Amino acid sequence: MQNLEKIKGDASHRKFFRNKKKNSILVFAKKEKVKNLLIYDAINKILNKNGILAPKLYQENYKKNFIEIQDFGNETLFKILKKKKNKFFYLKKAIEILNKIQLIKDRKVKNFIKGEYFVPKYEKKILISEANLFCDWYLKKKLKKNIRNKFLKKYQKIINKLVSSLKLKNSIFVHRDFHLSNLMLVKDRIGVIDSQDALIGNRAYDLASLIDDVRLKTSTSLKNKIYKFYVQKQNKLDKDNFKKDFEILSVLRNLKIIGIFTRLAIRDKKKDYLKLIPYAWKLINLRIHENEIFKDLKELLKQNFQGKIK
């Protein structure tokens, strides 16, 4: 482990070490090893094949739970946008990368242990189970058992209805965690990291991740500006259905995020993420007023979480 410097991790079970001499990162993962090492590299191969900058594999030692990959440095778009006033300039760059990702047609790739990996579909049951993380973790912490059980029954009906209301097909390559901390400035290009959760899903999902990024507070006017910039670049887009799907997926994603951040604090002792939960509520609050389909959810959340939904 000489010449290795431990660097800050993320919300996953991985550990990261920088080798400055080799300009590389060692990624260690004992838990969820298949996803965090094997699938991560497989998705990176697909991205690179399609002209999107993703970390290349230098070596792997799967038996010893690590891979060595290209080092993209420390300049995330999140860090840059926190300092820069002209946020729209960089967000347009992010949209250009997203447009390239959404053109990817590859659905299978050979992984480094000579097996084939097929990128799965973002099935409705996955979206529902993700939204249920809100109840599995946050609800348990905030509501008493008798109230919780009543809430849960209503919540699950509402979430099933919202997921069934999505109109666009699951036909687009979705990074699934497309936010500014996973986009890095590498010389004059933008590199994409943390892609192991990629699925074939709804066109609106990654845009919702980017615009309603819980890590960076942006004005509603800037959010609308980015949204319009994306929509203007699309051909043959059903704008009404797309907007509805965008709103639904943003709300579902932020409910999931509240659950995940609570889980990270309770299970993994990573309490830093708790400070992001109030803004996740604000983002839900923003979207929940834009569409009549959220009427029941709005009422349910308003009744049980005072002050979160106005």
37: left (phi over 0), alpha (psi -120 to 50) or beta: alpha
Across the chain, mean pLDDT equals: 94
Indicate whether 288 pLDDT > 90: yes
Asked whether residue 139 carries a pLDDT value surpassing 60, the answer given is: yes
Per-residue pLDDT at 307 exceeds 90: no
The 10s digit of each residue's pLDDT in 192-239 is 999 999 999 999 999 999 999 999 999 999 999 999 999 999 988 999
pTM to 2 decimal places: 0.95
Q: In the chain, at which residue ranges do the beta strands (DSSP E only) sit?
A: 4-7, 15-19, 24-28, 57-61, 66-70, 108-110, 116-118, 172-174, 183-186, 189-192, 199-201
In the chain, % of residues over pLDDT 70 = 99
The pLDDT tens digits for 13-50 are 889 999 988 889 999 999 899 999 999 999 999 999 99
Q: Provide the residue ranges of all domains of the chain, joining segments of one domain with +.
A: 74-109+118-304
Question: Tell me, what's the pLDDT at 1?
Answer: 54
Q: What is the CATH T-level fold of the domain 74-109+118-304, as seen in this structure?
A: Aminoglycoside 3'-phosphotransferase; Chain: A, domain 2 (3.90.1200)
